[in-house]
């Protein structure tokens, strides 16, 4: 659920004055959105998580310099984009690592582990094939459980646009993965 604009303004002001609890409230509220932006730029879950932590630390440090508390969202987004640009520059010549964050099946059978890695790779590729605006809306909705109205407010677009982006994303994911992984689309 999104914060009301007036309440956010007040929370930002409290955080600017050094109130750590107020900043934690902001960080908790924007963490998933920042992670979605970072993942879109890096295509790497671990890098996205690291960037979010770095950006939130930088935001806490620089928050007293923010002139207009109502510009917090755009200011935070700009910090994330700059962090992603820096990450990309420092990692441009490296290949994408295998996702080691997977939990191995309880049987620890090598074949099951290989199949799960393949499934995760296919999901990542399908997700990365989405148009960036569609991917961002879908990630915010799935990862952050943001409502369509919340996404519309954060991205400054109509709710109908959010609805279309998420619908198209789901349809494309279904087309790309349904034959190979039908269990993803049960329900």
User: Among positive and negative, which fits the CA dihedral 156, 39, 76, 149?
Assistant: positive
State how far the Cα of 111 lies from the Cα of 7, in Å rounded to an integer.
52
- Give the lowest-confidence range in 47-56, 92-101, 122-131: 92-101
pLDDT for res 104: 39
Residue 54 included in any domain: yes
Does residue 137 sit in the same domain as residue 63? no
- Last-in-domain residue among 21, 56, 91: 91
pLDDT higher than 90, residue 83: yes
Residue 101 included in any domain: no
Residue 181 included in any domain: yes
Does residue 82 sit in the same domain as residue 121? no
Residue 63 included in any domain: yes
pTM value is: 0.61
Digit-coded pLDDT (tens) for 45-65: 889 999 999 999 999 999 999
pLDDT band at 105 (very low <50, low <70, confident <90, very high): very low
Does residue 125 sit in the same domain as residue 77? no
**Range of the structural domain that residue 119 is part of:** 110-185
CB atoms within 10 A of CB 121: 13
CB atoms within 10 A of CB 164: 14
Digit-coded pLDDT (tens) for 6-50: 688 999 999 999 999 999 999 998 998 899 888 888 878 889 999
pLDDT for res 185: 66
């Amino acid at each position: 659920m999104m914060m009301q604009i007036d309440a956010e303004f007040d929370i930002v002001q409290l955080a600017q004055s050094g109130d750590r609890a107020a900043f934690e409230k902001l960080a908790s509220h924007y963490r998933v959105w920042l992670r979605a932006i970072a993942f879109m730029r890096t295509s790497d879950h671990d890098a996205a998580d690291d960037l979010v932590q770095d950006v939130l630390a930088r935001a806490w440090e620089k928050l007293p310099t923010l002139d207009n508390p109502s510009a917090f969202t755009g200011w935070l987004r700009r910090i994330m984009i700059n962090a992603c640009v820096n990450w990309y520059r420092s990692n441009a010549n490296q290949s994408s690592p295998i996702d080691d964050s997977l939990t191995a099946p309880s049987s620890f059978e090598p074949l099951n582990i290989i199949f799960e890695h393949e499934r995760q790779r296919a999901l990542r590729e399908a997700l990365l094939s989405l148009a960036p605006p569609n991917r961002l809306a879908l990630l915010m909705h799935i990862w952050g459980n943001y409502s369509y109205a919340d996404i519309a407010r954060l991205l400054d677009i109509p709710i109908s646009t959010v609805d279309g982006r998420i619908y198209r994303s789901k349809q494309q994911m279904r087309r790309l993965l349904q034959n190979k992984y039908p269990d993803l689309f049960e329900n």
